[in-house]
Chain A
Amino acid sequence: QVQLVQSGAEVKKPGASVKVSCKASGYTFTNNAIIWVRQAPGQGLEWMGWISAYNGNTNYEQKLLGRVTMTTDTSTSTAYMELRSLRSEDTAVYYCARDYGGSHCDYWGQGTLVTVSS
């Protein structure tokens, strides 16, 4: 069965970086893109960007440009999201999700809580 398993919770200081992993199993990793979504406490879902696991092409939310990098490692079927220059407003649960055919996200990771605090 399809599974996306994310790395564990992180606590970071302002200005630091965080790298969240998302290990896929149960399907051919390169057949689908991965979307990253975050959710601040008590807030809605925010799309962060998209990466093709086939060729590594990316598309990022404009307001995160320059601070976010999404990558994949096809040898381990793992996607990564790195966010730099962290601010308190980046405190959120970060999700990866499988993009099925550019139509919907059908499987989601369990979420990774990133807390930014001095």
Chain B
Amino acid sequence: DIRMTQSPSSLSASVGDRVTITCRASQGIRNYLAWYQQKPGKVPQLLIYAASTLQSGVPSRFSGSGSGTDFTLTISSLQPEDVATYYCQKFNSAPQTFGQGTKVEI
């Protein structure tokens, strides 16, 4: 099975900082990657799909890039409401594995 590895596992940044989270697949998955945000005690919310397509209603400070094995989620200017854990998920084939998550704090 393809493994999904996120880095870092956690990070602390200041309001206004640019934040980058990486997701690496152990084999190529083309652009079949989604990113989710999960705030404490809440349901995961879709941010990005097809590696770089912003879900409707998601602030434009979120962006995604990558293809094949290496992907990034970028928050261009970190806001207090962005405190959450972020997960990537592969969709090229089953199992649709998640990364282990990246916790973002301020």
Give chain A's interface residues, CB within 8 Å of chain B: 35, 37, 44-47, 49-50, 59, 61-62, 95, 97, 100, 102-106, 108-111
Contacts and interface: CB of A to CB of B under 8 A. Distances in A.
Contacts, number: 62
> Which of A35, A61, A100, A105 neighbours the largest number of chain B CB atoms within 10 Å of its CB?
A105
Interface in B63-106: 85, 87, 89, 91, 94-101
A46 B36 CA distance: 13
Given A44-B98, A44-B101, A50-B96, A105 B89 contact: yes
Interface of B: 1, 32, 34, 36, 38, 43-46, 49-50, 55, 85, 87, 89, 91, 94-101
Nearest to B101: A44
Nearest to B98: A45
Contact of A110 (B43, B87, B99): B43
Contacts of A62: 1, 95
Chain B interface SS verdict (over half): loop
A103 B49 contact: yes
Contacts of A106: 46, 49, 55
B34 A104 contact: yes
A103 B50 CA distance: 7
A7 B98 CA distance: 24
Contacts of A50: 94, 96
30 contacts: A35-B96, A37-B44, A44-B98, A44-B99, A44-B100, A45-B89, A47-B89, A47-B96, A47-B97, A47-B98, A50-B96, A59-B94, A59-B95, A62-B1, A95-B44, A97-B44, A100-B49, A102-B91, A103-B32, A103-B50, A103-B91, A104-B46, A104-B49, A104-B50, A104-B55, A104-B91, A106-B55, A108-B45, A109-B43, A110-B43
